[in-house]
Structure 1
């Protein structure tokens, strides 16, 4: 017997991305505001911030949300994504994967067994 996880409305498990990024700035002071605002976005399944470690954990449907939108909210509340090499590398990779997921989700598959478009 497998246990099924229920997701929030607007979240498709096939496109669910789980991201973990280090933050800097006023994390201790503003982490609750960031979590509340990000949690209200359509497509966000879960969000938390470990304030003592300044770590943002977020899971979202990449066809509905992009990491840039979440980062905007973080910056709005006097925080930012950490500027260390590893966090910058992960952030770039996450954005690359998110864009691929979004592009592939809207792509109409083509097969050589079908008639070419327009014929």
Structure 2
């Protein structure tokens, strides 16, 4: 069964992120999930039993770097390693790509493309 999205989020720009988080106590996890769930750009947030954070957010208004800052504000950190660095690089790339696609104004292929000023 699919979850209903928040009315403010555009479904085509939603990005799913899965991050392994360390250093958070039970109360800190609850506060983090509560803040993420009530954030206007976040569509869905949950904690898995193995300490993994699953978040779905609107990529046009929020980024993985802002998510990392929020985790750091609660005293947590992302697990280090080669795979985590690769995932973060890919997440940043797709964040930028979604923002660029949201701003793009399509034009008809039978017309001359708009000229840059």
TM more than 0.5: yes
Please list the CA deviations of residues 73-104 of structure 1 after superposition, one character each: whole Å capped at 9, or x if unmatched: 10000001111221221111111111101111
Residue 9 of structure 1, CA deviation: 2.4
> Which residue of structure 2 lines up, in the alignment, with residue 75 of structure 1?
72
> Which residue of structure 1 lines up, in the alignment, with residue 50 of structure 2?
53
Which ranges in structure 2 are unaligned for 5 or more consecutive residues?
Answer: none
Provide the alpha-carbon RMSD of the alignment: 2.0
Indicate if the aligned counterparts of 1:45 and 1:61 stay in contact, CA closer than 8 A: yes
Q: Answer yes or no: is 1:102 the counterpart of 2:99.
A: yes
Which ranges in structure 1 are unaligned for 5 or more consecutive residues?
Answer: none
What TM-score results when the alignment is normalised by the length of structure 1? 0.84
Indicate if the aligned counterparts of 1:21 and 1:91 stay in contact, CA closer than 8 A: no
Question: Size of the alignment, in residue pairs?
Answer: 115
Q: Secondary structure at the match of 2:46?
A: strand
What TM-score results when the alignment is normalised by the length of structure 2? 0.85
CA distance in 1, matches of 2:84, 2:113: 44
